[in-house]
Each structure stands twice: as C-alpha cells, then as structure tokens.
Structure 1
C-alpha cells in the first residue's frame, strides 16, 4: 500500500502543472471599453454614410432619443419612432450635402469618454464640432447577445463661442 501511494505521488508530481491565466479585472474593463469604442465608431460611421439600416441596427428595440434643437422637443420612444424621425434627418442631410455618395459628412468625435457602469452597460459622451456649433452627445449603451446597443441617445447643441 505504501509503495502504491509513493507511485501515485511520483506520477502526479511528474505531470506538468496546468494553469490557466485569468485576465485581471483591469484588462477585462479595458477590453469592454475598447468594445464600446468600436461600437461607437461603427455607429458614427453609419451616420456619416447615412446608412439608415446600419444606423438603426445600433439601437435597442425599446430605445429612446432626445433630438437637439431645432428638432421636436418630445422624447422619441421605440425603434420605429426613432427610425421615422432619423429618416427625415438623413434626407435633409443628403439634400444639403455636396457629396453624391457616402460619406455625406465627417463626424470625428472629440473628447470621447466611456464610463463602464457595469459589465453590461456603459455611458458614452462625445462632441461633434463644426464652425457654427458643438453637438454634444450622450449614449447609454447596453450589451445584448448580439453586441452593444443604444438604449438612450441624448443630443444637444450649443453655439461655438469664438
């Protein structure tokens, strides 16, 4: 019996020790933040291209939006209401753009900030600036089985102070 225990101990000690490295919570948070940033870039690219289908794919079914002035002051609830209003916005931009094909305008986000609220939710803020105004945007995004989706978009504009 003693020799069997010794044999088992020797056999076990000769096996390579297998460990799996666990990513640190900091590394996980960084990956989540980067994932949200990639999502935000895809969202903005679809807006630059005025690709309404790709743009709307970024919204949760029960999303809500506050549009900036001069748009209606009401909150738009649900993907269909949001889609209908953005269709008007996209049409107006397309008509006023000199571009005949995508991208119809360029929207580099400035002062982009991403705050992870949990593993499945983030707050994204950024500004889009042109000669006349600073467009301030806040997104509340949530993780779905298919990736990040906008749960709420709040948009406001302010004049550039020069």
Structure 2
C-alpha cells in the first residue's frame, strides 16, 4: 500500500504523500456521507421556499423580489464575461441584475421573461448554513448554480451565489 501511495504522489507534481493518503481515506466506506446532511424539516421547507422564490424572481425579472433573498453582505459571481469579478454586496448585485433584467425584458416583452427550471437540485445543511446546487439546461449551454444560504435571526438568506455556464459541444 505504501508503494502505491508513493507512486501516486510521484505522478502528480506537488502532491504530497499525506494528501494522497487523506484522499484515499475519504474513499473508505463509511468515511464520507453517501447522502447530503439534512436539516430540520422546518429548515428544509424554509430553504426550499427561498430557492423557489429566487427562481420565480429570476423568471419574472423582478429585481426587488430577487434582491430580497440576499443578505446585505452577500457576494456573487456573475456568469457573464462583462462582469468577471466578484460582486461584493447586495447593492452591487441589485445594480448588476437591474441592468440584466432590463435587457431580458427588452428581448421578451411579457412574462415569464425567462424560463429557468432547476435540474438535479441538491441541498446540504451544515448547521446554520445550507448549500444548494443545481443546473439549468439550455440548447447551447449548461448553466451551473451554487447558492450558499445562512440562517440569520431565523431567516434563511443567500450569502453567496456562484453562477457559471458551459457551452455544449455540437455533435
């Protein structure tokens, strides 16, 4: 086993023996959870409502509703090259999405302005933090989303949104 670990560590530059050992230990049955950690039924329901409202606000291109799901100090990575850096707070997020929603409304004159339907939603709870991941399938790209929510004063708020898209290869 030690020879195998040394061989693996030697094949990847800067990968130490301890890193390889730590990785292999996570592969031991029972060392990692097969299912995501669950929250209380009330927290699961509350996070579900936030995610549903968040998606509804996107489809309605409603910046006021959209921004209501974010904490004041939330951060966001926008999936467009026109905004390559992290947005640092709720005001920056509102400004970016106001412009984005205006452009969407020009292309689609009546609601729903967008039709975003999450696929493969996974919700994990880590105490008062929840991580929600899903993707959106389009004809030309797959969009990936990660929402990090924190329970503050009894309310679940988005503290980070990471949005990225990958172009699909034409067959």
- The corresponding residue for 2:95 is 84
- Gapped regions of structure 1 (runs ≥ 5): 1-25
- The corresponding residue for 2:167 is 159
Paired residue for 1:54, among 65, 68, 84? 65
How many residues align? The count is: 134
* RMSD of aligned residue pairs (Cα, Å): 1.8
| 1:113-136 residue CA offsets vs partner (Å, 9 max, x unmatched) | 000011x21001011111011110
What are the residue-to-residue correspondences of 1:1-40 with 2, within 5 Å? 29-40=40-51
Is 1:101 paired with 2:118?
no
- The corresponding residue for 2:143 is 135
More strand by share: 1
- Gapped regions of structure 2 (runs ≥ 5): 1-36
Paired residue for 2:123, among 108, 114, 133? 114
Runs (4 or more) in structure 1 with deviation over 3 Å come to: none
1:90: Cα distance to partner? 0.6
Which of the two has higher C-alpha Rg? 1
| 1:14-42 residue CA offsets vs partner (Å, 9 max, x unmatched) | xxxxxxxxxxxx99634322321121011
1:55: Cα distance to partner? 0.4
Contact 1:29 1:116 in 2 (8 A): no
